[in-house]
Structure 1
Amino acid sequence: MNTYHPLRELGIPSRLLTIADALLRDNHGENRNWTPSVNIFEDESGYHVSAELPDVPPSDVKVTVRDGVLTLKGERKLEKKSDTTRYHLVERSYGQFSRSFTLPKDSDGDRVAAEFKNGVLTVSVPKRIEIQPREIEVKVN
């Protein structure tokens, strides 16, 4: 089975295409840092970060908050199927990742919650509850 390659139509031999792809792919995707895609949104309750982490076991994901910075770290490993398995093409990135985000001033970093479901990590950072000043009645004697 051959993977489509636009230069093949120009008559470039498959061997040259394979060599060119290998040079451009940086070690066939192995041991390379990658950056998962994230969405960040805000609602009335707080701030939410959703990170796409397919094939990353939840046990390999760490979420930390330190000095007002939320950090997501982990690793996606390329697992060989067997000693006889030969990959012909690896386009997905593998390796360690780290994403850090500065939390807004009104966020409560002490109440961060994280959930992992269907390959998506969702981190929720609630907003601080602002204490409203209350008026105190002054009694006259």
Structure 2
Amino acid sequence: MKIDDIRENLGQFWGSFSEGWDRLRHTAAGALTRFRPGEQTQLPERHEIDDPLHFPAQSWAMLGGDVFEDEQRLVVRIEAPGMRKEDFSIEIGGDTLQVRGEKRFERESTEGRWRVLQCAYGSFQRSVPLPAPVRGEEARASYRDGVLRIDLPKREPGRPGSVHVKVD
């Protein structure tokens, strides 16, 4: 193999890697969510955890989401496993959907140690930009199988408002 071939292959690799990294950064940036331990999070004490990379004050997780649009509505789905519907607070303000919640740690009923603790626990906030005006007062939310689904009927452009949405 000649030096020119190596350069060409390296250039192709770097271009592919850069393109993939840019795409990942662009598509996942909104999904990367910070979790902050609160009073109700109930994390184990630091001496109960052997995982040297666990820092509860710096927990981040991906809350993957989808936004679907048709002529009548927007549907926002956010993957948030390990929670209950009561753990969510949803608000619509102008062209943004705000989802807040708290994921609580569940202790094992036996004695032992945590060897690895990779899940994020604590309170979080996720903002989802809405591509069209919606009638927030008619929004409906449900939580099943670890997925929060919010149905938002569209409305004509006008004055933005703020509405709280109950999760069924």
Query: Would the TM-score normalized by the shorter structure come out above 0.5?
Result: yes
Match of 1:112 in 2: 139
Identity of aligned residues (%): 28
1:72–1:99 CA distance, 2 compared to 1 (3 A): same
Unaligned 5+ segments in structure 2 are 1-49, 158-168
Match of 2:66 in 1: 39
**Larger Rg computed on CA atoms:** 1
Match of 2:114 in 1: 87
More helix by share: 2
Superposition RMSD on alpha carbons, in Å? 2.4
- TM-score by structure 1 length? 0.64
- TM-score by structure 2 length? 0.55
Paired residue secondary structure (2:86)? helix
Determine if the alignment matches structure 1 residue 63 to structure 2 residue 90.
Answer: yes
Unaligned 5+ segments in structure 1 are 1-18, 131-141
| CA–CA separation in structure 1 for the residues paired with 2:68 and 2:146 | 19
Q: Equivalent of 2:129, from 89, 102, 106?
A: 102
| CA–CA separation in structure 2 for the residues paired with 1:40 and 1:120 | 13
Q: Deviations over 1:81-106 (max 9, x none)?
A: 14723111112222222111233343
Superposition pairs of residues 14-29 of structure 1, within 5 angstroms: 22=52, 25-27=53-55
Match of 1:53 in 2: 80
